[in-house]
Chain A
Amino acid sequence: MQKTLVKAEFKGGVVLVEFNDVSVTYSSGVDALNHISLKINDGDFAFVVGSSGAGKSTLIKLILKEIDATEGTVTVNGFNLRKLKRRKIPNLRRTLGIVFQDFRLIPTMTVYENVAFVLRVIDAPKKYIKSRVPYVISLVGLAHKAKAYPEQLSGGEQQRVALARALVNDPQLIIADEPTGNIDPALSYEIVELLKGINECGTTILMVTHEHDIVRHFGGRIININAGSIAFDETIGGANET
């Protein structure tokens, strides 16, 4: 809790993600991103919007170091991704929380195990896992489903498990790639509300979406990508603020 308060104090001061004149050209010859520069500050809640094929997914892939930039440099949580060796990628990903459109929960593990797995990966003490995991699961309102398997949960519930998994390691930055894409519209708002709540506690959120209603409703920083370039990067007020 103390850690999140400290983060909040520095809100706007520390740059967590920086794209510096980044271009990506795939081997097929497609230019996915063209010389984009972008900064995500600590404590930001930023929506990345754009039509299909605009370059949103490429942006996420760069942050996760699934792919490398053809030109320019990407820095995430202090890691210069151009210089980051392949075997050190897990170190980068451990500083991130990731939420995917298709949830990506391990089907053979219970809710508890899915969330605890992140802590096991970083060799966290058993005692800490036992106290932290139930706490995070209760934060997303699924304490009663801790022993359930993903297939026994609804889409909304699965996404909440994915959120708990992203949160459990207390990451500096959560990347949410179309987190509402596979769930009912009503539940979509719930998920974004949860993300907003997490952001208010100091965690930076970068959410990719193509659902303009949600963006309009919540407002905040909007980064619009069009044909591989940033067409718009501004902060707007949300409908729920009026």
Chain B
Amino acid sequence: MKLSSINYLVGKGISSVWKNKMMSFASFCIMLVSLLMVGLSVLASININKIISGIEGKNEVIVIVKDDSTDEVITALESSIKDIGNVDTVSFYSKEEAWKSMIENMSKEEQDLFQYAEGDNPLPDTYKVSVKDIEKMADTTNRMSTLEGVESVKASNEFADVLISIRNIFSVIALAVVVALIIVCLVIISNTTRTSVFARRKEINIMKYVGATNKFIKIPFQIEGTIVGLLAAVAAFILTMFVYKGVFNLFQGNYQLWSILGINSLYSFRTIFLPVAIAYLAAGAIIGAIGTTISTSKYVKV
């Protein structure tokens, strides 16, 4: 195909957007709503995953060292814990540090009362261990409790189980919602473009009679669909930015949510700006082009 023909077909596609403005607007609205539904669902999904991962990261295991352990045993224990696997970080917290920390957190009266008891520090030496995979928490803690010099292991396995359940259930729901939305969107979009193509079926018919190939007929429709898809993507991106920033500010401005979820529990829009823009533009263009390809195929068979 010559460059002049490509220019002509692209020009036809662009001018068709305006010439069929009512249909273009209908397709635009449907695509906008569809892209927004899918886009916001995906954004909610990745943020909830981040929140859950953040909470998981805070889940520590406390390994209490036997009181009569020698320094060698205590030192060897650190590498033994690391050797178990599924261990992210290990930090030693001596009984002296624990005592000091406890006293600091007390009221003045309590401090006065306890300062004389320092010589009889009853607190144990501990290791604070964070695990990599919360799903293997129970197995990891069981293995830690069998190590030499370990008195006991304190871990909230129940909490870990709850988090795992939440994450799994959420992942399934999020995936199901996104897949369902994508299917619904494709059906709606292909029906909308079909209406648009149906309205011009006579035009397509005439083109076939004068010897136009299927490709020659489809290209302007595909360009038209792609342009409408890209316009819808730009609008969806702008709306998403406002909605996202609004929700983000709501979270960041709420101290209670902050303290529960952590300061960096949500992605800031600046960090996801580029991938979101690219994803919207790509999805808009692809859905627009595919939608029109599906719907024109039926009418080019003359």
Contacts of B208 in A (CB 8 A): 90, 93
> How many residues of B are counted as interface, with CB atoms below 8 angstroms from the partner's CB atoms?
21
User: Are the C-beta atoms of B207 and A121 separated by less than 8 Å?
Assistant: yes
* Cβ contact within 8 Å between B210 and A117: yes
Distance in Å: Cβ of A134 to nearest Cβ of chain B: 18
Cα of A90 to Cα of B208 in the assembled complex, Å = 7
Residue B275, interface by CB 8 Å? no
- Chain B residues with CB under 8 A of A106: 203, 206-207
- In chain A between 91 and 116, which residues have their CB closer than 8 angstroms to a CB of chain B? 91-94, 96, 98, 100, 104-108
Q: Which of A122-130, A179-187, A229-237 contacts B (4 or more CB under 8 A)?
A: A122-130
Tell me whether B302 and A126 are in contact (CB under 8 A).
Answer: no
| Neighbour of B5 across the interface among A93, A94, A123, CB < 8 A | A123
* Interchain pairs with CB closer than 8 A, number: 53
What size tier do the contact residues of chain A reach? 20 to 34
Check if A121 sits within 8 Å of B210, measured CB to CB: yes
Determine if A91 and B211 form an interchain contact, defined as CB atoms under 8 angstroms apart.
yes
Residue of B nearest to A119 (CB): B210
Shortest A190–chain B CB gap in Å is: 23
B298 interface residue per 8 A CB criterion: no
CB distance from B11 to the nearest CB of A (A): 11
Q: Is the CB of A120 within 8 A of B8?
A: yes
Q: Would you call B4 and A108 a contact (CB within 8 A)?
A: no
**Contacting residues, chain A, for B210 (C-beta < 8 A):** 93-94, 98, 117-118, 121, 165
Q: List the 3 closest pairs (A to B, CB-CB), nearest first.
A: A94-B211, A93-B211, A90-B211
**B interface residues with partner A (beta carbon < 8 Å):** 1-2, 4-5, 8, 16, 19, 202-203, 205-214, 216, 302
Could you pull out 15 A-B pairs where Cβ atoms are within 8 angstroms? A87-B213, A90-B211, A92-B211, A93-B211, A94-B210, A106-B203, A117-B207, A117-B212, A121-B207, A121-B210, A121-B211, A121-B213, A121-B216, A122-B211, A123-B5
Residues of A bordering B, CB below 8 Å: 64, 66, 87, 90-94, 96, 98, 100, 104-108, 117-118, 120-123, 125-126, 165
